[in-house]
Structures are given as C-alpha cells and as structure tokens.
A and B are shown apart, each in its own frame.
Chain A
Amino acid sequence: EVQLVESGGGLVRPGGSRRLSCVGSGFSFSNYNMNWVRQAPGKGLEWVAYIGSGSGSIFYADSVKGRFTVSRDNAKNSLYLQMNSLRAEDTAVFYCTRQGLYCTGSTCSDALDIWGQGTMVTVSS
C-alpha cells in the first residue's frame, strides 16, 4: 500500500521549534518530489514547502521563508520539516504530500497524489 505517515506534531511555545517527519512506503520514495501543505483550524489548504527528489530544488511559501527548512533522507524514505521561530499563526495540521508526474504524449502535468494523515502543530503559551 502506498502511504505517507507524518509524526512530530504537538504543543509548542511561541518562538519555539519543532521538527516534523514523514515516512513514505509502498513506492520508490527517492523518485518523487515532495511537499508540505498545512491547514489551520477551520481554514483552507496552504502550500508550505517543496523539495525535489534529489534535494537540488527547494522552495518555500513567503509565510515560512527563513523560519522553516525542508529536507529529506532518501535512504530512510523520509521527509522532514524543521520549524523555528514558531508563531501562533503557524498552528495547523501539517500534511506531507507526494508530487506525482503524469504524462500523455509530450504533455506532462503534476498533482499532489498521495497525502499523509497529517500531524497537528499547536503554537500557544
């Protein structure tokens, strides 16, 4: 079964740090670009970060740039999100997502085709 399992969420004080992990199974993890997406309570989805399959390309949402660091260890089929200087507005469920590439002839597109169950991060004093 193809799946992603996140861990590492919890209660963090404002200004604190937290490291989230995501383990992939049932597919060749090293072949896929990966993303983190978050969802604040009662709100919509917000893309957070992207990392290429070989860690050569990394991008962040403006809201987390300079505070969050995405990384991966393909030998461990694992994706990470190091979150520093956390704020109340970072409170959210964080999802690890696989970015699948789909090609028809010469046309390709991608989509976030596999999602983990999410891990909740609460930033509060």
Chain B
Amino acid sequence: SSELTQDPAVSVALGQTVRITCQGDNLRNFFASWYQQKPGQAPVLVIFDKNSRPSGLPDRFSGSSSGNTASLTITGAQAEDEADYYCSSRDSSGNEWVFGGGTKLTVL
C-alpha cells in the first residue's frame, strides 16, 4: 500500500486563505479527493478529480496538484469550515483506497 501525509493541524484567521497539503508517491498517478468531517458527522466529499466540487459546495473550496503533492485551498475561510480534512487516493496498486492522517482546521 501507499501513504499519504498531511499536517496534523492548521489554523486560519476568519476570512483569510488557507492551504492544506497532502503528500504521497501515488499522487503522481492518481488524483486526490478531499473530505470534510465535522465532529460527530460522517465525512463529506468536497473536492474530487483534482479540482471539481460536488454541486452545492461553496466555490471558496478548490483543489490543485503538482508532482506528489495535492492541495486543498479555502479562500475566505468561514467559521463553518472548521473541521477535519482528509485527503485520499488510490494506492499504488490502484485496487485500494488510502487516506491521509487528517488535518484539523481551526478558524480563528
């Protein structure tokens, strides 16, 4: 299997821009997807296919990728964006899913 590495915690001032990153060798071959999880809730897909958003998701969420690093950017972070964010992609075999350890985002 493969590993995806995320910073454990990131903070951002209300209304500012924050980038959450995810590193892993399999990201050279597979797009990352990003999931938001608020306390006591199930994860929700926020970014897929490198930079696509599910319908209804605010456009302040965007994704990008370069080499072995994928990024989730929140432009103008809101209080309701405070959550854990997980990246995920297929592993090197393409048969399994692997998740990053998650990044806890605090909006100050």
Q: Footprint of B on A, CB under 8 Å?
A: 35, 37, 44-47, 50, 57, 59, 61-62, 95, 100, 102, 104, 109-118
Q: Which of A46, A50, A113, A118 contacts B42 (CB 8 A)?
A: A118
Could you list 21 examples of A-B contacts with CB < 8 Å? Answer: A37-B97, A37-B99, A44-B99, A45-B99, A47-B96, A47-B97, A57-B95, A95-B43, A100-B48, A102-B52, A104-B49, A111-B45, A111-B48, A111-B49, A112-B33, A112-B97, A113-B54, A115-B44, A115-B45, A116-B42, A118-B42
**A interface SS class:** strand
B95/A102 in contact, CB under 8 A: no
If A35-B97, A44-B102 touch, does A115 touch B1 (CB 8 Å cutoff)? no
Question: B102, A45: Cβ atoms under 8 Å?
Answer: yes
**Contact of B1 with A62 in the complex, beta carbons under 8 Å:** yes
